[in-house]
Chain A
Amino acid sequence: MDPWTFWLGGALALGGGLLTVTRRNAVASVMWLIVAFVGMSTLFLGMDAGFIGVIQVLVYAGAIMVLFLFVIMLLNLTPSGLLRIDRPRWTTLGLASAAAFVALILAIVTGGELWTAGGGDEEAILQATGRDTLIEGGVLDVADQLFNAHVLPFEVASVLLLVAVVGAVALTKRKL
């Protein structure tokens, strides 16, 4: 990846994420979360994963966050109406879960084949994963993986989502 892309995307993602959790105003939080998503999309694009990068913006920044904003606007959330989480117990719990999350990520990344294979060296990764070529991030490559190699998990996930949709309709509709 181009270093500039990395630093720009990283700064947007981290800065946006940090401002998301520190803003008092819920709408401002949503806006900064969108910035964070755009930053992550930049990182995906920098890694030649064009499809994931575009989907990141299309689904998260463009659709899900609109619903967030919609709900916040409808409820008319004010800073005073928000739950204050500056009590010591909450802080301790938050820090503990953050530390656990970081530890988990580190364990996955350092314990996996990719890390031991020399972080980014193409030949080494191919050798470690036993593939002939690296999987590219284009639409066709992603579709090929999704509908051939991983079609069962894909279908299971879509059934799960369908159940969630039906559940949401059943919960909100008073008279079916």
Chain B
Amino acid sequence: MSFKLSPKLSQQIAYTLLVISTIIVIVPVLTVIVIIIKNGWSALSWEFLTTMPKDGMRAGGILPAILGTLAIVSCAICITLPVGVCAAIYLNEYAKDNLLTRIIKLAIVNLAGVPSVVYGLFGLGIFVMLLGFGVSILAGALTLSIMELPVIITTARGALSSVPYSFREASWSLGVSKWQTIRRVVLPNALPGIMTGAILSISRISGETAPILFTAAAFYVPHLPKSMFDQVMALPYHLYIISTQIPNMPKNIIFGTALVLLLMVLSMSLIAIVARLYFRKIRKW
């Protein structure tokens, strides 16, 4: 009574399902890109990228949002990269496998799972209010850097542990100290991996909205940022505002802004991918 498929037919069905699932993955990505380009392309111009908004942001450019995002993100990476790499060196090269180390590792894993809006609230409480930085580039950058720390630590540890142990042994056996070995042998060989991880992090935090919502981003600032303690406009938040908060917003400016953000993020990822391919090609071990 049981109904049986021939092996050949079941194989066909399985294969088709797998192919369809794979296509489902690509379709939304392509659709998003196509729609944004189609609707936003007409807004793109040199003027759009280099001038201030006009008419209640319904016209003009998005320069302050671009600069704001660049400021927050570059500050954030300057904070998170050194701290993260140092922590990764400690964990990978020095830490003994004991309870404390295991707790630290567990904390890093958990930190990576905290929703980004929670980081935003944390940043509001600590940096904006307690430390008194106010809503500012600095507060936003610190919030983003803490959010990105576990990612940097994890990728940097991966890069460090991919350097063969035999390089370390060779160096030690020449009378080179542990720290000199790390500095002269391990780090140079791990650097490509660390850098590609950092570039991907930059691309990821460029698009983050929630962590800067309460800590750095402003609805509208009529001038460009002058110091670390200024509020700034930022691309992702600006996009949210012009899409939802402003009536009669020209559609091509919304999509044009989205396109600029997308291009920033994608070009970063592309750089990381190309760099990784390049280093994989020249690396011989």
Q: Do A and B form a real pair? A: no
